[in-house]
Amino acid sequence: MTDKPTVLVTNPMHSDGDAMLAPHARIVVAPDAAPDTLRRLARDVDGIIVRAMMPEDICDHAPKLKGMVRHGVGLDFIPVEAATRHGVMVANLPGCNTQAVTEYFFAALFRLRRPLGDIEAVMRRDGWNTARPMADTTREVAGDTLGVIGVGAIGSRIARIAREGFGMTVIGVNKGPFPEGVTEVSLDELFSRSDAIAVTCALTDETRGLVNRRLIGLMKPDAVLINTSRGPVVETAALVDALTKGAIAGAAVDVYDSQPVPADSPLFGCPHLLMTPHVAAITSTSMRAMSLGAVGEMLRMLRGERPLNLVNPTTFAA
């Protein structure tokens, strides 16, 4: 037996995070993220580092639990209200993956606007003369209008790079203040004016289903939409219809209503759709930063100290 506290990690961390945590805690890595597995493993743990959706009743099954740390930013993976009722601290890592998601956005935008991978594939298969005309229909982003839904840390960084790096006009909708260079507009105006739309808002009751059939219907036929937020923010059926009918030029989605995506999802049959398995925030760089940040917060909790990014402060006061 050991007198070290036990920390459950729902998914493997970067090795540097393991090395930072191991001297201070016994690490248990969940073999899978099934709700019953997490409930079972939580019975004797003092802390949980969260990379998977937690069951709403996880705190009922973890009598020793002191805190949960989101290995990332989005708090929809953690039942914060239930944790607060149980006196369990919850922390996350604002800004830890901003650069990774920003780079993903532009990679996706260029993939939709100037698909060099497709051109290369045709050149290798069919030759120079077949591939070269494919460039005739590609389009530069300079001078385009970018609409940003949720101008927080990620949305603001995307906006600044779009404006200063590529000469795009940036408009947005946001609950909070607007950064310099982003013009506040209504949702209707954003969808009708934008050549590209970045969905970067958090998933809340207010944003669930926000990008609906009516708004998608306002998009220009040559516009594209990129969702790095959460799947339920965008109505999947409406997006599928728009892509299938050619009502918009394309889309990229990294997040889904259900994850993993069911094999029979109609998304797989959509033209001009880039699909990735929730990897926008994941690079070796961001994984290391998130793991070290999560371990730092967990160690503060285990020592009885206040985490740097405590999202339910009443638990620490209690």
pLDDT one-digit tens code per residue, 15-56 = 999 999 999 999 999 999 999 999 999 999 999 999 999 999
Has residue 308 got a pLDDT over 90? yes
Residue 286, token pair as written in the block: 């961001």
The 10 Å CB-count burial string (b at 16+, else e) for 103-142 is bbbbebbebbbbbeeebeebeeeeeeeebeeeeeeeeebe
- The pLDDT of residue 3 is 86
pLDDT one-digit tens code per residue, 71-81 = 999 999 999 99
Average pLDDT, the chain: 97
d(CA 69, CA 208): 24
Has residue 89 got a pLDDT over 60? yes
Q: In CATH terms, are 6-94+284-317 and 98-275 the same topology?
A: yes
Question: Region 144-149: what's the mean pLDDT?
Answer: 98
Dihedral, 263, 265, 268, 269 alpha carbons, nearest 10: 120
Question: Region 230-242: what's the mean pLDDT?
Answer: 98
- Which pTM value belongs to this model? 0.92
Domain spans of the chain?
6-94+284-317, 98-275
- The pLDDT of residue 173 is 98
pLDDT one-digit tens code per residue, 186-228 = 999 999 999 999 999 999 999 999 999 999 999 999 999 999 9
Q: Could you tell me the pLDDT band of residue 2, with boundaries at 50, 70 and 90? A: low
Has residue 134 got a pLDDT over 90? yes
Has residue 145 got a pLDDT over 80? yes
- The pLDDT of residue 1 is 45
CA angle 38, 227, 48 (to 5 degrees): 20
pLDDT one-digit tens code per residue, 292-301 = 999 999 999 9
Q: 3-state class of 178 per DSSP?
A: coil
Overall CATH class of domain 6-94+284-317: alpha beta
Query: The CATH number of 98-275 is which of 3.40.50.450, 3.40.50.720, 3.20.20.60, 3.40.50.300?
Result: 3.40.50.720
- The pLDDT of residue 318 is 73
Question: Region 81-99: what's the mean pLDDT?
Answer: 97
